[in-house]
Amino acid sequence: MPHQEPLTVVAKVDPTRLASLAHVMDAMRHDPAHNDVLPFGALPDCHFGRVLFLPESEDLQGRAIAPQLLMLSDCDGPVGPHLEALVDRAQGGIDRLFGNCEDFPKLNGQGASRAQRLDFLRKKSVHVKASYVHRPGRSVEQIRREAQLRDALETFVDAHGLTNLAPLEARKQLRAHVKSTPALSWALEPAPGVDLGYRIRNALDAATLPLGLIAFGPVVLPAALVLLILIRLQELRDPAPHIRPTPEHVRELAALEDFVAQSGYTAGGLLKPGWVRRATVATLLPVIGWGTRHLFSSDSLAGVTSIHFARWIPLDQGRRVVFVSNYDGSVESYNNDFIDLVSWGLNLIFSNGYQYPKTQWLVQGGATREQEFKDYLRRHQIPTPVWYSAYPQLTAPNVVRNAKLRAGLHGYMSESEARRWLKLL
Amino acid sequence: MAEIALRLFGGENAIENAIGNVISTKLAEKRALSHALTGDKLVRETGVSPSALPIDVEDVQGLIFRGYGTLHAACYVLLQLGDAAEARAWLAQLWPEIARGVPAAEQSAVHVAFTYAGLRALGLPAAALDGFSRSFSDGMIDEHRSRFLGDTQRSAPEHWSWGGPNQPAAHAVLMLFAKDEAALTQLQTSMRQAWLAGGITELTTLQAAPLRATEHFGFADGISQPAIEGYHPAPSDLHLVKSGEFLLGYPNEYGEYTERPLLDAALDPKALLPLDVEGSAQRDLGRNGSYLVFRQLRQDVPAFRRALEERTCNPDGTPNLAARDALAARMVGRWQSGASLVVAQYGDDASKAKQNEFRYHDEDPEGLKCPIGAHVRRANPRDALPPGPGSERSLAVNHKHRLIRRGRSYGEPLPEGVTDDQDRGLYFIAVNADISRQFEFIQHSWLVDPRFNSLSNEADPLLSAQPSNAFSVPHEPVRARYTGLPRFVTVAGGAYFFMPGIRALRFLAELTP
């Protein structure tokens, strides 16, 4: 079974075609799964997808930042075949969407060729160094089937009761039901997990950071210390005004939230001026990427269990960073998790953002200034009307419990293990 | 050098704030310093714990501290203000009558709170209005909020009998409490004369039922209340919550001051309002005030009994009332007497009705005693949720989502075996300093969300906002599950109110536009 990879396409929008782009995105927002531009729902390997527009703006020096179009998906990797499938499915939809961007092949009344479309999207694809997957190896198909398995088992228990049975006997009956139901028999086999090649590469990758530190530690660590002191000196002067988001902005965001179990989160902003912050982010993103692959790769991002996928995307030569995630529940509860569980982790990257609440030593303070932090995030949140989920009714903990339910159908279990397993129903 | 070190290590705000607060006497100086610091920082800098900050009890409306268990009669009058000057004249007469934290009201009590529209109608300038929280200024009935709170279908605001989009806007709620109905009527009469003289319209009067031992589904209610640190004594830290969670202008559970309306001194020329305790030199319109969440929850008692009887009847189809009540208790999470299922697993035990020091994860991690989806376990999960169920960290998160409940029932109780279509239910009234993090979070993420705590398809069994709702009761070897439960509780009205402190009331009464 494949591991999961993020597809990140970033393209500059032709400033003369903004209205045309808005028109296409409007056609997509009504049904991100089945619209006729880019039907994410027709891609069986796509967990989450979104298309978002970043309007023209300027940086802190007053230099213009061009309007940009981002197309993002989280797919059962590798990303190459996913991109091809996407182009084959969307066909002319690619032209309608990206035809509004610079560098897209000129169309003389006819569509671009498959090769032209692929070539454009590959050129505009960005490799992100920091991304998070709730549990590598769980495919769209697995997640959906395991949800069906749960429904089937719940219904079976509702109908048959299974009361007054010993745990092992109850499990035996559930297994027998699965075995005798052709549509469920796959569930008796354990989930395949990631393939061997990935595991080998992953193990080698895990060694890079410690080995790198051993090899270059005498240089890297003092440099990091100097950087940290420079950061601390800047922290004393960095402006951190408490600015509340406008009611209009909040309304626009809220109108898109809380329809299903999850929502798509997008937030972006300018870094503080100067090379120190840019160097900090450039250094930390690969480290965070290493951390998510090797420390936080089993159903929890440093204690936060409500995120399916996330990534940090540096834009505009490192002047801006956009954070993207697919999370469960409300924005309020998501922000509370940030503050209560992983404020240090949020501060690591976000505190390099302009006007972020005051921090100390990069990780202290910041997010723990609750109201300032919530207002900062809300102000920097970007409305994401074109957002797709392959399993919109499942929270990340639901997915985990369903996987455990399936896993328990296979192999030997002691009485107490069976007892605990049955509690998953 | 020491100063540089202090600045590097994060003391800079404290120093700056403290400098802004130097006052002549030594005592005042010390108080200003401790007020300028927040939470953890406070302890670090001064060794003074935030709980040592005295609550200005005299300036707080007494309802926040007490529910008036000896004042059996109550009503809530929804008012619409007319002319601003006349309304302020009414308030100028009213505010000295408002019951304060001390002395505790014994014969009767009057309280008042305002909606955002009400504060505007009094003539509060935009600069002051802007400082209130977004939830309060948006109000309870905006479209996103209705979806989020589960106020949909029959509970949608367009069906409400007050507070909805089709009704005149409520500006204020006057809350009257008295020993008995006769005294309440008398109080109402004198209050009515005053508001009529102030050009104020009575939209409706919500008459509470005389205090009884149980609410309409038959359960003792309002047992688990947070203890306000610095005011209520508490046997442990299980229910002990920072005052800033219920009063504006005090440190909350984050050691921060919740957002509140701070005014430039020019807007308060008579200096009626307290100074911002954070040392900004602004005047604090919020201090000693709080927000009230007021919702009329209609309870369909016949449907509740019928649905439970159908699912617990004897093999011959006759109702099994004991089994019905046991299922009801599992849905509530307490027995009818109020005893928790965690402390009285097998049956009701009135002697345990007041035992409220239990924790869920400690005593019942799998919900075998009290189901994970039971109403009270959802509304206040105590130590049951991540991070680290059973840990102090879990409890610390829980402290950030507590409410003080001051609601009362309305309507006649329905005798057993009888069916009628009378209106009865609960006037749900909750006090909190941060509507978004407290009431709205609890309502959405803990009660309405069918995936609460990894459950699959289970909204709160009492409020059951989802038509496909299920309720499961953990058992050995497998759970029992009840499906197709109808909605027993519908929302019939509601609004967010701001309940100002006494000085803030006087400030509002003496506004000079």
Show which of residues 240-299 on chain B sit within 8 Å of chain A, judged by CB atoms: 252, 254, 256, 258-259
Give the pLDDT band (50/70/90) at residue B465: low
Residue range A142-167, pLDDT digits in tens: 999 999 999 999 999 999 989 889 99
Q: Are residues B391 and B413 in the same domain?
A: yes
Look at residue B286 and tell me if it is in a domain. no
- Tell me which residue has tokens 């008579």: B270
Q: Which CATH class is domain A4-106+120-127?
A: alpha beta
Task: Of B149-153, B427-431, B491-495, give the lowest mean pLDDT range.
Answer: B149-153
B1 pLDDT higher than 90: no
A247-251 LR contacts (CB < 8 Å, sep 24+): A247/B134, A247/B137, A247/B138, A249/A378, A249/A379, A249/A381, A250/A378, A250/B134, A251/B142, A251/B144
Give the pLDDT band (50/70/90) at residue B46: very low
Q: Are residues B40 and B68 in the same domain?
A: no
B6 pLDDT higher than 60: no
What residues of B are in contact with residue A341 (Cβ under 8 Å)?
386-387
What residues of B are in contact with residue A232 (Cβ under 8 Å)?
8
First to last CA, chain A: 26
Q: Are residues B25 and B161 in the same domain?
A: no
Q: Are residues B381 and B312 in the same domain?
A: yes
Q: What is the chain B residue with the closest CA to A247?
A: B134
Mean pLDDT of chain A, nearest integer: 94
- Count of Cβ atoms closer than 10 Å to residue B20 Cβ: 14
Residue range B271-318, pLDDT digits in tens: 999 999 999 999 999 999 999 999 999 999 999 999 999 999 999 999
B33 pLDDT higher than 70: no
Q: Is B204 on the interface with A (CB under 8 A)?
A: no
Count of the separate structural domains present in chain B: 3
Of A254, A259, A333, the CB nearest to B445: A333
Q: Are residues B489 and B501 in the same domain?
A: no
Q: Give the whole-angstrom CA distance, residue A307 versus residue A304.
A: 7
What residues of B are in contact with residue A246 (Cβ under 8 Å)?
none
Which of B478, B479, B481, B482 should one mutate to test binding to chain A, selecting the residue with the greatest count of A CBs within 10 A? B478
Instruction: Give the pLDDT confidence score for residue B44 in this predicted structure.
Output: 40
DSSP state of B285: S
Show which of residues 397-456 on chain B sit within 8 Å of chain A, judged by CB atoms: 397, 400, 436-437, 440-441, 444-445, 449, 451, 454, 456
Residue range A12-56, pLDDT digits in tens: 999 999 999 999 999 999 999 999 999 999 999 999 999 999 999
Alpha-carbon gap: A255 to the closest alpha carbon of chain B (Å): 6
Q: Are residues B192 and B326 in the same domain?
A: no
Neighbouring residues of A147: CB distance < 8 A, sequence distance ≥ 6: A391, A393, A394, A398, A399, A402
Where exactly are the structural domains of chain A? 4-106+120-127, 147-184+400-422, 196-389
In B283-418, which ranges are E strands? 283-284, 290-299, 404-405, 408-410
Mean pLDDT of chain B, nearest integer: 89
Show which of residues 452-481 on chain B sit within 8 Å of chain A, judged by CB atoms: 454, 456, 474-481
Which of B456, B471, B482, B483 should one mutate to test binding to chain A, selecting the residue with the greatest count of A CBs within 10 A? B456
**B402 contacts B241 by C-beta, under 8 angstroms:** yes
Closest of A411, A423, A363 to residue A175, by C-alpha: A411
Q: Are residues B167 and B29 in the same domain?
A: no
B19 pLDDT higher than 50: no
Cβ <8 Å between B259 and A371: yes
Give the pLDDT band (50/70/90) at residue B43: very low
Of A162, A333, A371, the CB nearest to B441: A333
Question: Cα–Cα–Cα angle for B42, B45, B48, nearest 5°?
Answer: 55
Q: Please, which residues bridge with residue B499 across strands?
A: B290
Please report the ipTM that was assigned to this predicted complex.
0.95
Number of residues in chain B: 513
Largest CA-CA distance found in chain A, in angstroms, rounded:
74
Q: Give the whole-angstrom CA distance, residue B260 versus residue B244.
A: 11
Alpha-carbon gap: A380 to the closest alpha carbon of chain B (Å): 17
Cβ <8 Å between A401 and B454: yes
Q: Give residue B5's domain range.
A: 1-48
What residues of A are in contact with residue B126 (Cβ under 8 Å)?
none
Look at residue B225 and tell me if it is in a domain. no
Q: Give the whole-angstrom CA distance, residue A304 versus residue B493.
A: 36
Instruction: Give the pLDDT confidence score for residue B467 in this predicted structure.
Output: 67
Q: Tell me the HSE value of A183 on the side-chain side, using a 13 A CA sphere.
A: 8
Q: What is the chain A residue with the closest CA to B435?
A: A332
B134 pLDDT higher than 80: yes
Alpha-carbon gap: B428 to the closest alpha carbon of chain A (Å): 22
Cβ <8 Å between B144 and A257: yes
Residue range A299-344, pLDDT digits in tens: 888 889 999 999 999 999 999 999 999 999 999 999 999 999 999 9
Supply B102's token pair: 């001390």
Instruction: Give the pLDDT confidence score for residue B45 in this predicted structure.
Output: 42
Give the pLDDT band (50/70/90) at residue B36: very low
Look at residue B237 and tell me if it is in a domain. no
Closest of B425, B435, B356, B430 to residue B63, by C-alpha: B430
Look at residue B365 and tell me if it is in a domain. yes
Q: Are residues B198 and B171 in the same domain?
A: yes
Of A255, A394, A419, the CB nearest to B477: A419
Instruction: Give the pLDDT confidence score for residue A285 in this predicted structure.
Output: 95
Instruction: Give the pLDDT confidence score for residue A163 in this predicted structure.
Output: 87
Question: Cα–Cα–Cα angle for B394, B399, B405, nearest 5°?
Answer: 135
Average confidence (pLDDT) over A44-71: 96
Give the pLDDT band (50/70/90) at residue B48: very low
**B462 contacts B456 by C-beta, under 8 angstroms:** no
Q: Are residues B80 and B91 in the same domain?
A: yes
B51 pLDDT higher than 70: no
CB-defined contacts A:B, below 8 A: 111
